[in-house]
A and B are shown apart, each in its own frame.
Chain A
């Protein structure tokens, strides 16, 4: 089986990252924004795994980082959803444009 070259994997992860970024900037719904952030984190994960495999096949550092990031992403989701729930309770909405009390 022919090995997939690094450049293709990096292309996928970059695409994933910018899709996430696009989602983060355009969506007004907090849940969707959270999902976009998860996409960006996964792009990073792919980078770690790929570079680990191609550059330092003998080490597992990159894989460990991936595990950390997954853990952090889970924690972050928990915190973020808690925030979103609280925001919903106070504003009856999870649209970011409705929560602008802190401006200026």
Chain B
């Protein structure tokens, strides 16, 4: 077994960058902050590729099965000899795969930000936060202990909060960051309780041990957790469902998705990194990490399946109606994560039945590349147009050729057109769904068509539609922003990541994923069934043609269709009123009936008790303060009196 300890440096380098830039960045390093952050991340990226090569192709495999290797274990908090919180590094197919994804997407975003964020006043702070995020995400991936996962989980939440509210003088950004933090915190409460339930019955917080104990049907831990029940469901179901709620909060699954579209208030590269490619898939990763345990419980998996499938469909419908390009992408992210979730839900552990698991991880992998490409492309467009609204765009294909091609490739990839990356992973998901659950397959197929439609609606609206009015628009911007004059498509640091990611969006589909990442570590035979692929691809192409006929040239068709759908269109445009429901529940039910009574109790009972204590103390001290007269002879008198009393006591009473 060779040494994987160098993996420790992968998260530590961004941490060091965060500390350095956080402490000294604004004053001393603002000039080189971007270069410093990018350089340290480049090192991390190279290390993760080295680790991936070593693990997948040199020594990860023993007898044809990829091993779980614990590269580092350090007992941090020991509660009892059996229960301790360890810090560790776990090396297995999914963690190595995620390492590569996170570091490379993060690197692309770092490079892109060099151009996008140029001239920002808090440039160094931005890079410090990016490094903090990268550190936390890498730590989350490598965690060998479920409590360690939780700690990094929260750190990821904090850095997401900091980055969403990067433009902190914009009230909407502040509101969005608070919303993101509170909603995910709320979900994390479920996660924490879930961890405690699993830890209580499993007698350990170590992921490997937990899996080992809960997957053997005869172990005492498994028997105790399945025999204990609460409200008609076994504790295993409860624990896993609560853990899944945490994951659903982070991954923006319905109905905890409301924070994700608002989180688009952050800088666009941040959206690409956090709210598209890495942090939001943490929930999927968590379920995958604990998948052997999930596979022991049918109910929890069913919940995962239907939450995933309904989120996929729901978000896709909303995405068709939104006009803010980043919001369209946000809903598309939610929809794709829904795909990953239900793919996990319909999967079984091990062997041929583990296809869903492998497909989910594959989709996570390809999605990270094409979705970050979409976001960075959108960032490039926004950089040029200075607006997020579709109506301000159109005809940009000649003005930004590189972005145009990259965006088109990403759209084709997400639409699942061969040979782009999304085709392969989506194909695996659909195959798995077809074999396991026909209802989910139907939803998935319909969602795939919707995905193509809304992505190409976006594409045609940005790059075709009307003729480029942007030239004049951008010209106006020139007069007001002198530093932005002549920026055209942006500097090469903004184009380069687009080109690299576009290459990935084409190429990563050919990675022999089923050989590398499977539920049980053994290679899985998959083949692309041409007959099976016809239905989704034809549907996607039809959806693209439909989008082309609606939006390629400006016409009235789309408005007519929208009015034909009437109320349904309005509802989707208003995001099915989920936000309103939340506001109704919080403002009309929770605040007056729970919040205010608690506030009253706090003010009158808790505070009242404390005030009573304080007042009593004040009264007593008032009555005896005369003793402290300030007269030295009184003090001497007390002293001698005390000595006299003590001597009497010692002489006559305690002989």
Contacts and interface: CB of A to CB of B under 8 A. Distances in A.
A100 B636 contact: no
Interface string B194-216: 00000000000000000000000
Interface in A47-104: 96-97, 99-104
Contacts of A103: 628-631
A38 B628 CA distance: 26
Contact of A104 (B628, B633, B636): B628
B527 interface: no
B629 A25 contact: no
Interface in A1-50: 21, 24-25, 28, 33
B634 to A, nearest CB: 9
A73 to B, nearest CB: 17
Interface string B613-654: 000000000000100111111001100100000000000000
Contacts of B636: 24-25
Nearest to B637: A25
B629 A24 contact: no
Contacts of A24: 633, 636
B633 A96 contact: yes
B630 A25 contact: no
Nearest to A26: B633
A80 to B, nearest CB: 12
A100 B629 contact: yes
A104 B622 CA distance: 10
Given A21-B640, A25-B637, A96 B629 contact: no
A100 B631 contact: yes
B631 A97 contact: yes
Interface string B203-238: 000000000000000000000000000000000000
Contacts of B628: 103-104
A96 B640 contact: no
A12 B633 CA distance: 25
B621 to A, nearest CB: 10
A104 B640 contact: no
A70 B637 CA distance: 24
B630 A102 contact: yes
A24 B634 CA distance: 10
B632 A96 contact: yes
B415 to A, nearest CB: 82
A96 B629 CA distance: 12
Nearest to A30: B632
B637 A104 contact: no
Contacts of A25: 633, 636-637
A28 B630 CA distance: 14
A101 B443 CA distance: 85
Nearest to A97: B631
Contacts of A99: 630, 632
Nearest to B621: A104
B231 to A, nearest CB: 62
A86 to B, nearest CB: 15
Contacts of B637: 25
Contacts of B631: 96-97, 100, 103
A21 B636 CA distance: 9
A76 to B, nearest CB: 15
Contacts of A100: 629-631
Contacts of A28: 633
Nearest to B640: A21
B625 to A, nearest CB: 5
A28 B628 CA distance: 18
A15 B632 CA distance: 23
A33 B636 CA distance: 11
Contacts of A97: 631
Interface string B147-164: 000000000000000000
Kindly name the residue among B628, B631, B632 whose own CB sees the greatest number of chain A CB atoms within 10 A: B632
Nearest to A37: B636
Nearest to B632: A96
A33 B343 CA distance: 94
A25 B630 CA distance: 14
B176 to A, nearest CB: 55
26 contacts: A21-B640, A24-B633, A24-B636, A25-B633, A25-B636, A25-B637, A28-B633, A33-B633, A96-B631, A96-B632, A96-B633, A97-B631, A99-B630, A99-B632, A100-B629, A100-B630, A100-B631, A101-B630, A102-B630, A103-B628, A103-B629, A103-B630, A103-B631, A104-B625, A104-B628, A104-B630
Interface of A: 21, 24-25, 28, 33, 96-97, 99-104
Closest 5 CB pairs of A and B: A103-B630, A100-B630, A102-B630, A96-B632, A104-B625
